[in-house]
Structure 1
Amino acid sequence: MTFVALPDAFDSSTDTFTSDWAAWHEARERGTSSPFGLASLVATHWLTGASEELDGVFGTWHAGLDGIIGEGRELEGLTVLQGGRPVRVISGNTVTLTSGQDIEWGDRRLRYFERDGALALRILDPEAPTRARLRGIDVFEPDPQWVIEGSFSPAAPDSRMEITAIDGHVSDDTPAGTLALAFPDGLETLTVVRERGALHAVFADGTSGTETYRFRFIDMPSPDADGSVVVDFNRSYLPPCVFSDFYVCPLPPAGNRLSRAIRAGEKNVLLDS
Structure 2
Amino acid sequence: MNAAHDRWTATRDAAVWAPHGIAALAATHWLDDVEREYDGVPGWWRADGTAAAGRQTPADVRLRRGEAMYFGDLMLRAVDRDGAIALRAWDPDAPSRRGISAIVRAAYDPAFHVRGEFAATPRAAERQTVDGRRDDIVYPGAVTFELDGAELELTVEQEDDGSFFAAFSDATSGTESYQFRFLRLAAPDAAGCVEVDLNRAYLPPCAFSDHYTCAFPPPSNRWAVPITSGELLVR
| TM norm structure 2 | 0.93
Q: Residue 177 of structure 1 corresponds to which residue in structure 2?
A: 141
- AA at the equivalent of 1:173: I
Q: Residue 79 of structure 1 corresponds to which residue in structure 2?
A: none
Q: Residue 52 of structure 1 corresponds to which residue in structure 2?
A: 36
Q: Residue 90 of structure 2 corresponds to which residue in structure 1?
A: 124
Pairwise CA RMSD: 1.6
What are the ranges of 5 or more consecutive residues in structure 1 without an aligned counterpart?
A: 1-13, 76-92
What secondary structure, in the 3-state scheme, does the structure 1 residue paired with 2:42 have?
A: coil
- AA at the equivalent of 1:72: Q
Q: Distance in 2 between matches of 1:221 and 1:168?
A: 30
What secondary structure, in the 3-state scheme, does the structure 1 residue paired with 2:221 have?
A: coil
Q: Residue 90 of structure 1 corresponds to which residue in structure 2?
A: none
What secondary structure, in the 3-state scheme, does the structure 2 residue paired with 1:160 have?
A: strand
Larger Rg: 1
8 Å contact kept, 2:202–2:230 = yes
Is 1:74 matched up with 2:40?
no
| TM norm structure 1 | 0.81
TM alignment of 1:34-113, pairs within 5 A? 34-72=18-56, 74-75=58-59, 93=60, 95-113=61-79
Q: Residue 7 of structure 2 corresponds to which residue in structure 1?
A: 23
**2:120 is matched with which residue: 154, 165, 168?**
154
- AA at the equivalent of 1:187: E
Q: Residue 165 of structure 1 corresponds to which residue in structure 2?
A: 129
* Matched length: 234
**Pairwise CA distance, 1:61:** 1.4
Q: Distance in 1 between matches of 2:109 and 2:95?
A: 34
Q: Distance in 2 between matches of 1:173 and 1:144?
A: 33
What secondary structure, in the 3-state scheme, does the structure 1 residue paired with 2:102 have?
A: strand
**Pairwise CA distance, 1:132:** 6.7
Q: Distance in 1 between matches of 2:160 and 2:40?
A: 33
**Pairwise CA distance, 1:222:** 1.1
Q: Distance in 1 between matches of 2:51 and 2:65?
A: 8
Structure 1 ranges of 4+ moved more than 4 A = 129-132
Q: Residue 242 of structure 1 corresponds to which residue in structure 2?
A: 207
What secondary structure, in the 3-state scheme, does the structure 1 residue paired with 2:85 have?
A: strand
Q: Distance in 2 between matches of 1:144 and 1:23?
A: 16
Q: Distance in 2 between matches of 1:133 and 1:34?
A: 16
- AA at the equivalent of 1:68: A
Q: Distance in 1 between matches of 2:99 and 2:160?
A: 31
Identify if the C-alpha distance between structure 1 residues 163 and 239 changes in structure 2 by more than 3 Å, giving closer, same or farther: same
8 Å contact kept, 1:146–1:232 = yes
Q: Distance in 2 between matches of 1:130 and 1:233?
A: 29
What are the ranges of 5 or more consecutive residues in structure 2 without an aligned counterpart?
A: none
- AA at the equivalent of 1:47: L
**Pairwise CA distance, 1:196:** 4.9
Deviations 1:4-51 (A, max 9, x none): xxxxxxxxxx4xxx1111111122112211100111111100011222
**Pairwise CA distance, 1:73:** 5.2
8 Å contact kept, 1:104–1:110 = yes
- Determine what percentage of the aligned residue pairs are the same residue: 39
**Pairwise CA distance, 1:202:** 0.3
TM alignment of 1:176-255, pairs within 5 A? 176-197=140-161, 198-255=163-220
Identify if the C-alpha distance between structure 1 residues 263 and 219 changes in structure 2 by more than 3 Å, giving closer, same or farther: same
